[in-house]
A = this chain, B = another copy of it.
Amino acid sequence: MTAPDTSCSPADNPRLGLRERKKIKTREAIRSATYALVEEQGYDATTIEQIAERAEVSPSTVFRYFPTKEDIVLTDEYDPLIMEELRARPADEPWPDSLRYVMHRAVQLGMKEPLRVSRLRTRLMVEVPAVRSRMMESMSATGRMLCQAIGERTGRDPQSLEVRVYAMSLVGGLMETSMYWAEHAHEGDFDALLDRTLDVIGYGLPPENH
């Protein structure tokens, strides 16, 4: 590895061994190499070999870090975070309120990374079927986690059809919201969209909106 390993970010967790730190670095190198290349040439035109080359690792290493090409551009899930926040809500808070709070919080956290990246990601979701697919896959995992949470909160069987349907319809609605946002050039406030989404899911289609 001939890369100058000069830049070790200021407050980079110094507790970790050199090995762990290098792994994190490699992961980030692959990610940012991918983002750059995709912005330059588009997703399909970008091959793993190019990514490997720019990240200064071998193609095999790329696959060791990410099981598929799509996974490189997708975030590491917020799922655990959501669960945590959800469990932290007061037990007597009505479920819809908890849900709304936590979803807004998730968006907040999601905005931590550079805007460029989250926009690229949602754009790819809309434009590249493979990425969208992978995203949907991961949302079905989110659905299962939500079932769990709902079970804990409401004392219901998380495996029941009702809970599962509710969770998946929620997840489907949220996915659509992201796509809507991306398709409308990311204009406006995502939080506002989120509220409208949760209203539809909670109360059904409003009688008229025009």
Contact = CB atoms under 8 A, between A and B. Distances in A.
A43 to B, nearest CB: 16
Interface in A194-210: 196-197, 200-202, 204-206, 208-210
Interface in A158-188: 160-173, 175-177, 180
A168 B175 contact: yes
A165 B154 contact: no
A71 B105 CA distance: 38
A206 B137 contact: no
B173 A209 contact: no
Contact of A164 (B161, B171, B180): B180
A163 B193 contact: no
A205 to B, nearest CB: 5
Contacts of A161: 177, 180, 193, 196-197, 200
A162 B201 contact: no
A59 to B, nearest CB: 22
A162 B205 contact: yes
A76 B133 CA distance: 19
Contacts of A157: 210
A31 interface: no
A136 interface: yes
Contact of A209 (B133, B140, B160): B160
A208 B197 CA distance: 24
A100 interface: no
Interface in A74-92: none
Interface of A: 129, 132-134, 136-137, 140, 143, 150, 154, 156-157, 160-173, 175-177, 180, 193, 196-197, 200-202, 204-206, 208-210
9 contacts: A136-B140, A162-B196, A162-B209, A165-B201, A168-B173, A169-B200, A172-B172, A172-B173, A202-B204
